[in-house]
A and B are shown apart, each in its own frame.
Chain A
């Protein structure tokens, strides 16, 4: 094929553009500031864990890590549960009534977070849910519910109607059909949706920034952002923070790549 050399050159350059900065960040997390500035591209002279120790003890990153894990896992599970229930019902209710409810829920994807965050803040304040992990879980569910319903309804609609009817003929009600037919059959798409939600909620900065002021309740992106103010140009420490915050997702990505791609793509098609 013509242009084969050009193809390799372009792909090679772009691969370097992705790999080199990430390598500099990873190797930089094992260096001192001076080592990083003198030879940013060189591999670290030793894998000294000093920066990691500093990050995990000094800067409340350890707390943030635990909070991010707890908040994200809870929010993902609840969003999946509530969203898959809705998706199942809406995929099975025929005609315009189901469509209206679906359209109403999915319309939320068109509303940017900055448009309703102020009244949300006031509402959460009045409910005593500011500076609370429960409040954070709730707002993450609320913010991602429309897109979750969108993805999962899209999937449930592709399931053949006979699948559900077979269940009802055997005398199973909608709940039994949901539990023992719809859910098991949907595992791959639920997994993709779960990963999509996990990536968004794990990485979210806006709501922690708005709702959390107590350092004991902080999450990783917020801790990272505050980090910047603290260690203005101490890049090795910033890089260590980046690695700590990204490691769980990157490791999971290596093993569950197709689900990441499927989930994030499904989310971006309309999200």
Chain B
């Protein structure tokens, strides 16, 4: 899974410089003071342009600053109480984001695991198919959005044309035009773009499971399902945890895909938290947008924390 595993060439450097002298004992060697200079450029850039602004977001979040005027007032927790109790736009975006998140996490995890199970062996055809399935992950989300805009186009789109062609006209739909379901269709486009990427993580996890475990399970009379349930599933738990955690963060960060499919600013039925913050910001409500971004950060931290707890519970539970 790490870069090094995929890069056997790295190892060639090792023997040439092999152990000229091994310091006795396990004591940590003295740190050359100049080593501290190496992280310095990164730390300086990071503190000035990343950490500083992150802290400032908290500062702005208690103001009504519009981003232009030099005068603004401190509104205390006003922004926050409005976001949490009295902001339909924010609540709508949160609801959409939760729907999007649930569909993407469940569908993408299941699909990428299925594909990985089918393609875990390193045969020529499996390797080629893995490469094909990974391909959409390198396209920009705006490009993916345009591909799916045409898939979903109610009049000329591929899906409705195919459905019409095979006589399933009654399944034809408005897709993105149907406000109550639009977000699910965007979720599907997201799964299309990234299932192959997460498949690779599962393949790496599956290939680490020793073959003997399957053999002995088979000797014990375990069928395909039992082998999956009692050998594969528990042993790929670490990969599953990574996939679920990554997919969750990815679902909060989906931004380009929403703007590509939902317009800029996106229609209400497709607004999620990241696009809501952006729209508030472009309406010159810097203070309020900063408050939204703080709430956003808290939500992500909370979800990640709960997820980690859940993973730990299930791993101890089995």
Q: Is the CB of A264 within 8 A of B260?
A: no
Q: Is A173 an interface residue (CB 8 A)?
A: yes
A155 touching B141 in the complex, CB below 8 Å, given contacts A85-B42, A139-B49, A228-B146: no
Interface centre among A142, A184, A229 (most CB of B within 10 A): A142
Q: Are A18 and B132 in contact (CB under 8 A)?
A: yes
Complex interface: chain A residues within 8 A of B185 (CB) = none
For A127-165 the 0/1 string (1 means CB < 8 A from B) is: 000000000001101110110010100110010111101
Interface size on B, residues (CB 8 A): 104
Contact pick for A115, options B132, B133, B297, CB 8 Å: B297
Report which of A25, A28, A225 forms a contact with B142, defined as CB distance below 8 A.
Answer: A225
Question: Closest Cβ of chain A: how far from B116's Cβ, in Å?
Answer: 12
Across-interface contacts of A75 in B (CB, < 8 A): none
On chain A, the residues within 8 Å of B198 by CB distance are 268
Is B7 part of the contact surface with A, judged by Cβ < 8 Å?
yes
Known contacts: A21-B151, A86-B43. The answer to whether A221 contacts B296 by CB under 8 A is no
A262 at the interface (CB under 8 A from B): yes
Q: Are A163 and B32 in contact (CB under 8 A)?
A: no
Complex contact A250–B138 (CB within 8 A) = yes
| Nearest-Cβ distance from residue A262 to partner chain B, whole angstroms | 4
In the complex, which residues of chain B have a beta carbon less than 8 angstroms from the beta carbon of A168?
Answer: 32
Among B149, B156, B294, the most chain A Cβ lie within 10 Å of the Cβ of B156
Question: In the complex, are the beta carbons of B197 and A224 less than 8 A apart?
Answer: no
Query: A205-B259, A224-B146 in contact; A108/B50 too (CB < 8 A)?
Result: yes
Inter-subunit contact A154/B2 (CB<8 Å): yes
Given A108-B50, A142-B45, CB of A21 within 8 Å of CB of B131:
no
A93, B54: Cβ atoms under 8 Å? no
The residue from A167, A173, A263 contacting B3, defined by CB atoms under 8 A apart = A263
Which chain A residues border B107 with CB–CB below 8 Å?
none
Give min CB distance, A219 to chain B, whole Å.
Answer: 10
With A242-B146, A271-B246 known, 19 other A-B pairs at CB within 8 A are: A40-B158, A82-B41, A89-B39, A105-B39, A114-B277, A115-B54, A115-B293, A116-B57, A117-B278, A118-B60, A145-B50, A163-B17, A181-B13, A188-B7, A224-B142, A238-B149, A241-B146, A266-B2, A269-B201
Interface residues of B (CB under 8 A from A): 1-4, 6-7, 9-10, 13-14, 17-23, 28-29, 31-32, 34-39, 41-43, 45-46, 49-54, 56-57, 60, 67, 114-115, 118-119, 129, 131-143, 146-151, 153, 156, 158, 161, 192, 196-198, 200-201, 204, 224, 242, 246, 249, 252-253, 255-256, 259-260, 263-264, 273-274, 277-278, 281, 286, 289-290, 293-294, 296-297, 300-301, 304
A-B contact pairs, 12 of them (CB 8 A): A25-B147, A85-B41, A89-B35, A89-B37, A118-B293, A162-B18, A169-B21, A175-B34, A189-B3, A192-B7, A235-B149, A261-B131
Q: Taking beta carbons and an 8 Å cutoff, which residues of A are in contact with B?
A: 2-3, 7, 10-11, 14-15, 17-22, 24-25, 28, 36-37, 40, 82-83, 85-86, 88-90, 92-95, 101, 104-105, 108, 110-123, 138-139, 141-143, 145-146, 149, 151, 154-155, 158, 160-163, 165-169, 173-175, 178, 181, 184-189, 192-193, 199, 202-203, 205-206, 209-210, 220-221, 224-225, 228-229, 233, 235, 238-239, 241-242, 245-246, 249-250, 253, 257-258, 260-266, 268-269, 271
